[in-house]
Amino acid sequence: MYRRALLAASALLPAAAQAQNAGGFTPQNPECIAGAAPGGGFDISCRLTARMLNETGIVGPSIRTQNMPGGIGAVAINHINAQRRTDPNVIVAVSTGSWVNMATGRFGRFGENDVRWIGAIGADYGVIAVKKDSPYATLTDLVTALRANPGGVPMGAGGAVGSQDWTKAALVARAAGVDPRRMRYVPFEGGGQALAALLGGHIQMAPVDASEARGQFEAGEIRLLAVLAAERLPGTLSSVPTAKEQGFDAEWPIVRGFYGPPQMPDAAYNFWVNALRRLTAHPDWPDQRAAQGLFEFNLVGAEYEALAKRRTAEFRQLARDVGLVSQ
Amino acid sequence: MMETFSALGGGFTVALTPMNLALAFLGCIIGTAIGVLPGIGPLNAIALLLPFCLALRLPPESALILLAAVYYGSGYGGRITAILLNMPGEPSAVLTTLDGHPLAKQGRGSAALAISGIGSFVGATLSVILMSFLSVPLARIAVSFSPADYVALIAFALSLLGAVGGASAPKAWAAGCLGILLALVGVDSGTGVERFTAGSIELLGGIDFTVLAVGLFAIGEILLLIETKLRTEAAKLGKGQRLTFRELVFCLPAMLRATGIGFVIGVLPGAGASVASALSYTAEKRLHESEGTFGKGDLRGVASPETADNAAQIGNLVPMLSLGIPGSGTTAVLLGALLMYNITPGPLLFTQRPDVAWGLIASMYIGNAMLLLLNLPLVGIFARLLTVPAWVLYPGVLALSFAGVYAVSNSAFDLLMAIGFGVMGWLFRKLDVPLVPIVLGFVLGRMLEDNLRRALSLSDGNVAELLVSPVSIALWVMTLVAVLWPLRARLVPRRAVAS
Amino acid sequence: MSPEGPRLSADRLLGVALIVIAGLTLWSAQSLVVAFAADPLGPKGFPSAVATILAVCGALLLFGRGLPFAWPERRAAPFLLLVVMAAYALLLEPLGFLLATAGLALGVALLFGARLWMALLTSAATSAALWALFDKLLDLPLPKGILGA
């Protein structure tokens, strides 16, 4: 009963919240487009973030999630650019995986300049996992082995060559001075199957995501040689050193966030940027973010835009280097 | 052993609270309904329910009990439309159409529904028992299954394709090949190149199974029906006999075999319920080849795939619960649900949160019993579907199928593609090209290619290494036998004539 | 066994169609450009092998006698149904779910020989029920179209 009263009280908040938002913009029938079917990563982002934005009263009108699966957001960006270029009421879930596809031209004609980058809500990080009885105890061991014989360390993760999963492996190879084309990368259907293959001894290294590997790590089934983050991760993962600490410049946050249509009016854009800023500062947010398997990564507006553009440019360079896209 | 019993007892104290019982019941109902709906699968349904669980502040074990019930409950729903209308609601129910629909045409729809419900219960419950006692060692064995072993397993499953082919072998094989090629549309996982997409953005992610199934089965069937104005094809309620106890006993061995096959396949992280039901049905058919009753309405042909389907669904939960490794998209979302409650899925789940792990397992005993009790009395009501006039039923089925496809994809392109597959299904029915191999090819083809390429990549292109493990050798021998057996049968009479 | 010449049969048409599909697949597979060989088999090998088997199956059908070619007994109905379904796919977004679905159900019901007023009634009910199920109960937004503007 008490909880219900709280919920009812929070339902009254929106009016005040909007006044604070100023700019005179109030979304009408706002929508969050998820470039995945219900159950996919984008879908979870949309549904949980929308629920939280509504529950905290940051956004008054109920945000509905619309699913538009296909090409890690390719279908969604085409829809936005073709039909809703000025729509102030729609935001689209996006991740590093989409940036990778933008860079390799998989989004059709559209790229990082065809949307308005609103903000990030959190990030997962790439980790380098080996089995508990692996001969590699540190990232240096692994890199030495890779240098001696680039094809000698079979590795696998949950995505195709050229996907964001593959990029984690490629970055480690590059940091080792090894041509990513020569490493032996085996794609699996999702990180879970890659971990199964690691436990089964079929592959020797799995560059997966921290949230996927945590359970195995805590149980001592796998060792994590490095986390591809700028700083060590909190909690039980704090014992895992970063790649940088070990002298390798490999950083790979899988950032989740949202963008708006390319000609979203400024008032609306500012409203949504502000909404994400207030959401990520909300005291309940850390728990909600952890529920999505994400670590803190708060970046909105212009800074987020800069990151999105920098990352796509970096990846485009990597893709060109290995010949995934033509010059 | 005793430890397991006491842990399970603890689980029942969690599962038997009024709220958790009610949630399991609710999940069973939602799951059955989801199984019937063509567009929406358990994965979608669980994702849609997640925010509600959070909004209602359900404790983790309760949320998981509800969501898991939706998952295994869906295994009870797919068969209903498969049997009555020849339109499978779930991928794994495709095989059920082969004998289920002929039975419905003979007026024995309710018997088919009853035996499939009982089969689902037997498969699920026996699997839950196996899971309670053998979870951890089984999961360890499952991860040792290598890409080469998967290649052998899928080759074996495909070699049984001829068994579901019907009259013409070239047609069955052609259908299987078409299914495989359809599955290859989209971004290639090995190299990241786009294959067979004709530059279409919509095809980048591949063809959705639902689109194919709705087209081939629902639209294709309706096109055929409308052509003959229902005079001959449609199933009738009739005065067919109900399921007798003798028939149940008759089907029991088939159910036990199907449980074994289904559970083992389900535990493997890289296979699933569709593979399990296909293998189980075809193996059963081969076993009773001489009787010649399969495909014409044999009750065992309904019991076998449905039992295997549910056994595999439960098996799929084994690597998820004991190792924290999701074996399918749906179990991955269930894992995600655990994460949302700040519970780290993984090997420590049983020791750190026994209430969640054992509460869930206990709830599955209860849930499956509920599903049986829920489904058996409803058999008669489901069968009444056939008394609905065609001009109410089929417009409804078509609209429901389209709405289901569109609601999860928001893509008119998918609707057009489904209509295209509908034309294909219609023409193929008229040409006696079997549809089931298309679906099996679609499900197995991608798995075969991915695993073959993984295996070759790991062996550095050495084909001989595909044959090193005992498991793959055994499976390849079985494949050879399965391919050669029908040929032998053809050769023997000829020799007899010659002498 | 009446002797039959190589005349048009449905099976032979199917055989030709399968060979054409196999040919297109092989051609499309050969034109794939791979940045670098990530695995020994590559993206071409498997589809090429499958397409070859498909072509062989098609060829076998060419040699068989097969089913005679037959037109449906109600020739118009299936094609009208196709028109109704295609119209639905194209008009769903502009018209909105409620109108388009009612139209689809009405068309199909009439093709199945329903009386007009009964068909109107059931198609309206079907459309409304599905809207409630998907949009309201499952919270999957469906297009509002001209009704929502």
Last residue of a domain, one of A214, A239, A264: A239
- If one counts the domains in chain A, the total is 2
Nearest chain A residue to B454 by CA distance is A186
CA distance C15 to A129: 51
**CA torsion angle for B100, B102, B103, B109 (degrees, to 10)?**
70
Nearest chain B residue to A193 by CA distance is B269
Looking at residue C1, its pLDDT comes to 36
Burial of residue A66 (number of CB atoms within 10 Å: 0-12, 13-18, 19+): buried
Q: Which two tokens stand for residue C129?
A: 């029920």
**Chain-chain contact of A71 with B201 (C-beta, under 8 angstroms):** yes
Closest CA–CA distance from residue B70 to any residue of chain A (Å): 14
**Which residues of chain C are within 8 Å of residue A324 when distances are taken between CB atoms?**
35
Q: Is residue A112 located within the same domain as residue A147?
A: no
In 3D, which of B303, B369, B308, B291 has the Cα closest to residue B113? B303
Give one DSSP letter per residue of A214-269, joined into a string: HHHHHTTSEEEEEE-SSSPPSGGGGGSPBTTTTT-----EEEEEEEE-TT--HHHH
pTM above 0.80, yes or no: yes
Numbers of helices and strands, H then E, in chain C: 5, 0
**Which residues of chain B are within 8 Å of residue C92 when distances are taken between CB atoms?**
402, 406, 412, 415
Residue pLDDT, tens place only, C124-148: 999 999 999 999 988 899 998 887 7
CA distance B354 to B333: 20
**Chain-chain contact of A186 with B458 (C-beta, under 8 angstroms):** yes
**Which residues of chain A are within 8 Å of residue B319 when distances are taken between CB atoms?**
196
Most A CBs within 10 A among B48, B50, B447, hence the mutation to make, goes to B50
Taking only Cα atoms into account, the Rg of chain C, rounded to an integer number of angstroms, comes to: 24
CA distance A256 to B134: 39
CATH of the domain at A309: 3.40.190.150
Looking at residue B229, its pLDDT comes to 63
Looking at residue A6, its pLDDT comes to 41
Looking at residue C66, its pLDDT comes to 67
CA distance A298 to A120: 6
- If one counts the domains in chain C, the total is 2
* Residue-number span of the structural domain to which A179 is assigned: 125-239
In a domain? residue C3: no
In a domain? residue A53: yes
Per domain, the residue ranges of chain B are 2-498
In a domain? residue C69: no
Residue with more model confidence, C95 or B238: C95
Which positions of chain A have pLDDT values less than 50?
A: 1-20, 327
Most confident listed range (B95-99, B103-107, C63-67, C100-104): C100-104
Q: Is residue A112 located within the same domain as residue A188?
A: no
3-state DSSP assignment of residue A130: strand
Which positions of chain B have pLDDT values less than 50?
A: 231-233, 494-499
**Which residues of chain B are within 8 Å of residue C69 when distances are taken between CB atoms?**
none
In a domain? residue C34: yes
With a cut of 60, say whether residue C2 has pLDDT above it: no
In A170-229, the residues whose Cβ lies within 8 Å of chain C are 181, 185-186
In a domain? residue A244: no
In 3D, which of B74, B30, B81, B94 has the Cα closest to residue B401? B81
CA distance A7 to B238: 54
3-state DSSP assignment of residue A155: strand
CA distance B388 to B230: 13
**Chain-chain contact of A196 with B47 (C-beta, under 8 angstroms):** no
Looking at residue B272, its pLDDT comes to 83
Looking at residue B138, its pLDDT comes to 86
Q: Which of A44, A151, A291 comes nearest B47 by C-beta?
A: A44
* Residue-number span of the structural domain to which C129 is assigned: 76-147
In a domain? residue C4: no
Looking at residue A7, its pLDDT comes to 41
In a domain? residue C5: no
Q: Is residue C55 located within the same domain as residue C80?
A: no
CATH of the domain at A144: 3.40.190.10
In a domain? residue C99: yes
**CA torsion angle for C128, C131, C136, C142 (degrees, to 10)?**
-150
**Chain-chain contact of B344 with A108 (C-beta, under 8 angstroms):** no
For residue C69, what is the DSSP state? P
Q: Is residue C88 located within the same domain as residue C39?
A: no
Nearest chain B residue to C130 by CA distance is B400
Residue with more model confidence, B435 or C37: B435
Closest CA–CA distance from residue C4 to any residue of chain B (Å): 19
Residue C27 to residues A55, A78, B175, C47, C108, Cα–Cα distance (Å): 55, 29, 20, 11, 40
Residues 6+ apart with CB under 8 A from A212: A191, A192, A195
Element (H, E) at C91: helix C76-95
Nearest chain C residue to B46 by CA distance is C138
Q: Is residue A21 located within the same domain as residue A74?
A: yes
Burial of residue B374 (number of CB atoms within 10 Å: 0-12, 13-18, 19+): middle
Residue with tokens 């419905």: B104
Looking at residue B497, its pLDDT comes to 44
Burial of residue B291 (number of CB atoms within 10 Å: 0-12, 13-18, 19+): exposed
Whether A324 has its CB under 8 Å from any CB of chain C: the answer is: yes
CA distance B300 to B294: 8
In a domain? residue C68: no
Nearest chain A residue to C143 by CA distance is A66
**Which residues of chain B are within 8 Å of residue A233 when distances are taken between CB atoms?**
none
CA distance B112 to B110: 5
**Chain-chain contact of C50 with B181 (C-beta, under 8 angstroms):** yes
Q: Is residue A119 located within the same domain as residue A129?
A: no
**Chain-chain contact of B190 with C41 (C-beta, under 8 angstroms):** yes
Q: Residue C6: pLDDT band by 50, 70, 90 thresholds?
A: very low
Q: Which of B222, B395, B431 comes nearest C14 by C-beta?
A: B431
Q: Is residue C44 located within the same domain as residue C81?
A: no
Q: Is residue A59 located within the same domain as residue A202?
A: no
Q: Is residue A160 located within the same domain as residue A298?
A: no
**Chain-chain contact of A31 with C36 (C-beta, under 8 angstroms):** no
Q: Is residue C51 located within the same domain as residue C18?
A: yes
Closest CA–CA distance from residue C41 to any residue of chain A (Å): 12
Q: Is residue A133 located within the same domain as residue A227?
A: yes
Looking at residue A17, its pLDDT comes to 45
Q: Which of A66, A185, A324 comes nearest C35 by C-beta?
A: A324
